[in-house]
């Protein structure tokens, strides 16, 4: 027995770009899926995407598909990237000077997740009314359920527990004095991420001849 193609695609849909908080299947990062044996091909927007980011996507995709019942050996291959050879040969640790415990990847993931949490909170804040320094997450979910759900997803990845709609990296609420400066900072982070998303989407579409109607 082997997973079906639909099951593999479903597993890959659970893998998200750590900054954009969108599935790699929606972003067009999955070039092809084959089963029996399972083989997935990934592609990124440019030949020079950061190697740590590329490895993150490959590792997360492999972990997601390997968790399927009866998956057997899973091969995830990165296409058209300057570090494809090292990544596809599972030689990333040697090639990029990690010690096998993924310290650089863990740090990279944390940076992405913290930035994405700030951006998600900015998107939420722009949909809320009331005293943002004291507004509860429950009330935020009532006013803007989708934006609040995105914040909850981000906090789960970071291990942040907070009952407030807006909080810092420790889960503590933002004081009224700190809030205006934090909102300006959060907006710059969100604009940067959104701009990067648009650029990457355009590069991927141009590079591979995709259209907006395709994954």
Q: Catalogue the E-assigned strands of 64-127.
A: 74-78
Domain ranges of the chain: 5-101, 103-203
What SS3 state is found at 18? Answer: coil
Would you state the pLDDT for residue 88?
A: 86
Q: Side by side, which strands form the sheet with 38-42? A: 30-34, 38-42, 74-78
User: For residues 205 and 154, which has the higher predicted lDDT (pLDDT)?
Assistant: 154
Token representation of residue 50? 């950061």
Cβ atoms < 10 Å from Cβ of 108? 17
Buried b (16+ CB within 10 A) or exposed e, 68-90: beebeebebbbeebebbebbbee
Rounded to whole angstroms, the Cα distance separating 77 from 55 reads 10
User: For residues 212 and 32, which has the higher predicted lDDT (pLDDT)?
Assistant: 32
Asked if the 5-101 domain carries CATH number 3.30.300.130, the reply is yes
- What mean pLDDT, rounded, does the chain reach? 87
Q: Could you read off the pLDDT of 3-12 as tens digits, one per residue?
A: 999 999 999 9
Rounded to whole angstroms, the Cα distance separating 71 from 62 reads 11
Q: Could you read off the pLDDT of 30-70 as tens digits, one per residue?
A: 999 999 899 999 999 888 888 888 888 998 899 899 999 99
Kindly indicate the confidence band of residue 14, based on its pLDDT and cuts at 50, 70 and 90: very high
Rounded to whole angstroms, the Cα distance separating 178 from 132 reads 11
Q: What is the pTM of this model?
A: 0.75
What SS3 state is found at 32? Answer: strand
């Amino acid at each position: 027995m082997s997973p079906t193609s639909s099951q593999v695609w479903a597993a890959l849909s659970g893998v998200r770009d750590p900054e954009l908080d969108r599935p790699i299947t929606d972003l067009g990062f999955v070039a092809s899926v084959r089963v029996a044996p399972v083989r997935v091909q990934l592609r990124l927007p440019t030949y020079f995407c950061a190697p740590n980011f590329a490895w993150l996507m490959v590792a997360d995709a492999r972990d997601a598909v390997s968790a399927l019942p009866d998956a057997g050996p899973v091969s995830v291959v990165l296409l058209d990237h300057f570090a494809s050879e090292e990544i596809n040969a599972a030689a990333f640790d040697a090639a990029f000077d990690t010690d096998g415990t993924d310290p650089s990847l863990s740090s990279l993931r944390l940076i992405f997740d913290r930035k994405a949490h700030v951006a998600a909170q900015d998107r939420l804040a722009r949909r809320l009314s009331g005293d943002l320094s004291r507004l509860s997450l429950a009330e935020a979910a009532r006013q803007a359920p989708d934006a609040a759900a995105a914040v909850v997803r981000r906090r789960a990845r970071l291990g942040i527990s907070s009952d407030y709609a807006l909080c810092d990296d420790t889960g503590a609420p933002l004081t009224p004095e700190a809030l205006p400066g934090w909102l300006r900072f959060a907006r710059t982070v969100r604009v940067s991420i959104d701009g990067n998303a648009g650029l990457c989407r355009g590069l991927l579409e141009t590079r591979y001849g995709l259209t907006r109607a395709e994954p």
